[in-house]
Amino acid sequence: MGERRSNRVFWTYVGILGVGGLVLTALIVLNRPALREGATREAQQNLDAAAAAALRVGGGGASLQTADRYGLRDALPDLLLIDPDQASNKPNIVSVYATPDRWVGSARAITGGCYWVRILPSGDLEKGTGPDCSAEAVATAAADGWPTP
């Protein structure tokens, strides 16, 4: 009979891969809150930028109707602006509702939550969340603020 061969090299690689897999899994689990916060923050920052642009385009609130999706296109080239009856499904897609005295923008975060911002006739901002992510649907919704991620 011949010599018996050792499996030590094989088990060394399996052990290294197993430990690496456990470390990777632990890092993913520990960083999930940070990922969720970043995904939420992207939608909120896009809405803040859209509201600021709406105030500039609308003359500080004098006539927000000009801050519709076409009026904001040049001010927000990185965002896709859609009609108020269409629901956003990504953070960089903002549904826009503009009337002479009210402006609303809504965007869905990667986490699935919908965030919106509304400019009132006074120029004040209201922020909220909800299940429907079309600007038209949230134009009259109760403002509950943005939760801290």
pLDDT in tens, 7-58: 888 888 888 998 888 888 877 777 666 556 667 899 999 999 999 999 998 8
Edge-first strand listing for the sheet containing 80-82: 80-82, 93-98, 103-108, 114-119, 125-130
Q: How confident is the model at residue 76 (pLDDT cuts 50, 70, 90)?
A: very high
User: Six-digit token pair at 97?
Assistant: 């509702």
For residue 82, is pLDDT > 90? Answer: yes
Identify which of 88, 93, 115, 111 has the alpha carbon closest to the alpha carbon of residue 34: 111
pLDDT at position 32, please? 63
Residues 6+ apart with CB under 8 A from 64: 54, 58, 98, 99, 100, 101, 102, 103, 119
For residue 97, is pLDDT > 90? Answer: yes
